[in-house]
Amino acid sequence: MAATTTQSTPLLANQLQAAYPEYTFTASERFSWNPVSKTVSYQADGDPARLLHELGHALLGHHVYRRDVELVKMESDAWQKASEIAAEYATNVSEASIEEHMDTYRDWLHARSTCPSCEANGIQSDVDHYRCLECETTWRVNEARTCGLKRYIDQ
């Protein structure tokens, strides 16, 4: 368990609910931020740092992204925000939990952007397609599970 943390996630959620009445904090199966309903979901037995990370998305107004790299940037920014407010809420946002979480996004991005034909690194051509610059292969990628940020198609 997180021995360095002085906060429990449900207690932190109560504090945040009082501080940010414009958002709804609700216990759930996983951590997420829903920009449409302005709901921050948290796992009651999860790491309080993750709750601050989701609040970071909320405070930064994260809503839509068009490119996978934008999502990775948003994830990083939300951690930055979580680190900034951590002391105020007696919560430890460790470098290790940030790296562990960011690694899942880096792995996800790597898996999506690797050309299935030649394994070169492709570029994203639209919300769900990548194109290889080496061999011209194009491939489709599926919607992935994220912090609740949605991708909107331009039309």
For Zn ion, the binding residues (CB under 5 A) are: 75, 78, 115, 117-118, 120, 132, 134-135, 137, 147
Name which of 44 and 120 has its Cβ closer to Zn ion: 120
Name which of 96 and 118 has its Cβ closer to Zn ion: 118
Name which of 100 and 134 has its Cβ closer to Zn ion: 134
Name which of 52 and 155 has its Cβ closer to Zn ion: 52
Among 66, 46, 42, smallest CA distance to 5 is for: 46
CB contact set of 92 (below 8 Å; sequence gap of 6+): 2, 4, 5, 6, 7, 48, 49, 86
Q: How far apart are CB 154 and Zn ion at their closest, in Å?
A: 23
CB contact set of 94 (below 8 Å; sequence gap of 6+): 4, 49
Residue 105 to residues 8, 10, 59: CA-CA distances in angstroms? 25, 26, 21
